[in-house]
Amino acid sequence: MFEKILIANRGEIACRIIHTARRLGVRTVAVYSSADAGALHTRQADEAVWIGPSPSNQSYLNSAHIIAAALSTGAQAIHPGYGFLSENADFAQACADAGIVFIGPDVNAIRVMGSKREAKILMERYAVPLVPGYYGADQSEEQLTQAARNVGLPLIIKASAGGGGRGMRIVRDFAEFGSALASAQREAQSAFGDPAVLLERYVENPRHIEVQIFGDSHGNLVHLFERDCSLQRRHQKVIEEAPAVLLSDIQRKHLFTAALEAGRAVNYIGAGTVEFIIDQAGEVFFIEMNTRLQVEHPVTESVTGLDLVEWQLRVGAGELLPLGQDAIECRGHAIEVRVYAEDPSQDFKPSTGLLQHLRLPVPSPHVRVDTGVGSQDSVTPFYDAMIAKIITAGPTRVEALQQMTRALAETEIVGVTGNIAYLQKIVAHPAYQTGGFNTHFVEDVRGDLLPEPAPAPDVVLMLAAMRTVVGLAAQAKTEAARTAEPASPWAGLTGFRLNTPPRFEFHYGTGDVHIVVFLTQDRASWRYTSGSHTESIEACEVAGQVVRLTLPMRTIQGAVISTPREIHVFYAGDHYRLEPVDLLQSGEVAEEVAGKMVAPMPGAVTAVMVKVGEQVTRGKPLLVLEAMKIEHTISAPFDGIVTEIRFAVGEQVLAEGVELIKLEPSAPALDADSAS
Ligand code: ADP
Ligand code: ADP
Ligand code: MG
């Protein structure tokens, strides 16, 4: 086994590899770009080497820098993860030239399978069933146009070197062929550096089933069963599972035979995936082979009980496959969802910024979470916006789905927009639950999956309002203690008004409505009123972000997280955003709180003029941010105490709206009377 490996990747996959390496006693070297200087993978590895500026073509795609990092740290092997250089034959060759083991198949297998066109030519020789089409070397327009006529409609044009669902065009009318071809070639050239395309018959409503295979350098080759990755959006997988639903034993056998045949054709070593589509009549067609570890490998690990990264390291070090085919079993069912920082209501636009709050499901024998970020980390615009993968398992698909429903309900993301609600809607959809879905599912039921901003129910408003009141009370206590006047009216909840019971009025924007909430203290309890609804709150406990209220017949619990502009409440698996209209501060000040304590644009912090704990008066300059050669001074919008400074001089603020400094208003600014 290796003593030390370098991981040429970032994010969750780098963390995933570190996890297994550590378990096996293998030391790890992480590489990182400027944007990832403080990233989780950089922190978790035994050593970390900076390999360049944030853009991936200057860092994670810079083979020379990565190989130099391996040589300088004495790493014996490089694990490429997925994406980046994982399917780059030149990189594998460069590793070999430098005397470093590339953890993956040999250069020839990568090269052949990296070209969908050449792969199909080879597969044809091995009698692997192919989607009918044209995959010839002649790429002239006349030849491709003639070939398109032969293939027939509808057809799909694919970038031969493509990946990640990119570089594809569906053609349903020959009149569109010329322009579709030109644009596919342009995208193929710019994204993959190779304009070559292939044409395939476009299979309507197929399912995507793939087979995990594994080979060693001693000629052994096994399969680790299949995965169903039909749940896709724009040809990109969203939810994967193992085993595949609604697959007959005959189809399964057929897939395994074809996958092993494909592996044998290139003397495959290491982890690989042979991808197929299955048409509505049940016929199986090879589409491509990925010569690397796959994003969705955890579902296979779950049903086989094996660690595929461990197998990769063993095989890479020249060992035999740990198990023979007969000893590999598939048990139970596993489902993986990809949690992305993207906004489904804005056409899935990636959402970048600081993860002000991130709560992921608690791991258990049925729940696994793979992530590369934690709370207070940033999602930057430079790389894939994946936050985590949640994998759940159970003896049956129904149970795995139940676990997933629960796991998604436990997931809380504040600071960037996530796709949790979207995933929840898919998982709860009857057509998904019965397993009768194909690659067009999310398109077909699009209307059912769109997030509708639901107004917050009373319990949610109670949680938010009580959290604010408790916060104000705590602040008042601190202030009273600080001014050494324990008898001050700020010393307790009851003191907000001296003669009448404390009464708070909160205004929230939720969904498209504006709601007014009143909380009135009634001896030891509180009375909540909103519209015609009144309810008594007998007790309120706050622990971190979790608020628990005792109501007359029940207790309710939720998490409440405040950001400069919003209050986020997570309750019963749903995420509510409230926009507070803060009546404790004048409209003008509230505006400033919302507008000025956050970065007006991405930039570098060039000066910090205050320290944590410092008392500042309104207007005092706190921090200077330089962006596009212009300096922005962030000043105190009110009198207060600096409780947190999130950036040091020289640090880069990666997104607009990121909170820079936390300022608690000094108690005198809270005018108790105006709260009633
Ligand atoms: P999988 O087949 O493992 O599910 P995906 O197609 O989803 O893989 O891609 C895995 C990751 O690699 C994603 O982050 C994707 O953006 C990236 N990726 C895939 N193909 C390429 C490529 N050719 N070049 C760069 N990145 C790629
Ligand atoms: P990539 O390298 O981007 O992963 P693939 O060839 O694996 O490209 O195709 C990605 C997805 O596109 C498939 O999972 C499937 O949903 C769809 N697709 C690919 N080829 C066809 C086809 N011939 N007919 C219908 N859908 C296809
Ligand atoms: Mg693919």
CATH topology of domain 4-103: Rossmann fold (3.40.50)
Fill in the DSSP letter of residue 57.
G
Q: Which of 165, 136, 134, 138 is nearest to 152 (CA)?
A: 134
Nearest CA to ligand 2 atom 15: 235
- Identify which ligand lies nearest to the alpha carbon of 439: 2
Residue 590 has what pLDDT?
39
Q: Which atom of ligand 1 is nearest to the CA of 295?
A: 3
Catalytic (active site) residue 292: yes
Contact in structure between 423 and 360 (CB atoms under 8 Å): no
Choosing from 233, 292, 314, 397, which is the catalytic residue? 292
CATH code of the domain made up of 596-665: 2.40.50.100
Domain 458-580 has CATH 1.10.150.120: no
pLDDT reported for residue 484: 59
CA atoms within a 13 Å half-sphere pointing along the CA-CB vector of 350: 13
| 176 token code pair | 């569109």
DSSP state of 457: P
Would you say the CB of residue 156 lies under 6 angstroms from ligand 2? yes
Q: Which CATH superfamily is domain 132-201 in?
A: ATP-grasp fold, A domain (3.30.1490.20)
Q: How far is the CA of 222 from the centre of ligand 3 (A)?
A: 20
Q: Which ligand is nearest to the CA of 82?
A: 1
Structure tokens at 503: 């009464």
**Which residue has a Cα nearest atom 15 of ligand 1?**
164
How long a stretch of residues is the chain?
676
> H/E/C letters for each residue in 360-418?
CCCCECCEEEEECCCCCCEECCCCCCEEEEEEEEECCHHHHHHHHHHHHHCCEEECCCC
Task: Report the residue among 60, 61, 63, 82 best suited for mutation to probe ligand 1: largest number of ligand atoms under 8 A from its CB.
Answer: 82
In order along the chain (676 residues), what is the average pLDDT of each group of 10 residues? 98 98 98 97 98 97 98 98 97 98 98 97 96 97 97 97 93 97 96 96 98 98 98 97 95 97 97 98 96 98 98 98 98 98 94 96 98 96 96 98 98 97 97 95 94 87 95 77 58 49 87 89 91 94 96 96 93 95 46 56 86 86 76 79 89 81 68 37
The answer, yes or no, to whether any atom of ligand 2 lies below 6 A from the CB of 230, is no
- Same fold? 132-201, 207-449: no
- Beta-sheet pairing, 533-537 with 525-530: antiparallel
| Atom number of ligand 1 nearest to Cα 87 | 23
Q: pLDDT at position 575, please?
A: 96
CB distance 247 to 284 below 8 Å: no
Q: What is the rounded radius of gyration, in angstroms, for the C-alpha atoms of the chain?
A: 28
Spatial distance between the Cα atoms of 529 and 549, rounded to a whole number of angstroms = 15
**pLDDT per residue as tens digits for the range 364-388:** 999 999 999 999 999 999 999 999 9
Top CATH class of 207-449 equals alpha beta
| Residue nearest atom 6 of ligand 1, based on CA coordinates | 164
**What is each CA distance from 329 to 120, 320, 426, in whole angstroms?**
30, 18, 29
Enumerate the domain spans of the chain. Answer: 4-103, 132-201, 207-449, 458-580, 596-665
H runs (alpha helix) in 232-272: 249-265
* Local structure of residue 659 (DSSP, 8 states): B
Ligand nearest to the CA of 83: 1
Kindly give the distance from the C-alpha atom of residue 86 to the centroid of ligand 3, in angstroms, as a whole number: 14
Q: Which residue's alpha carbon is at the smallest distance from atom 20 of ligand 2?
A: 287
Please report the atom of ligand 2 found closest to the CA of residue 133.
23
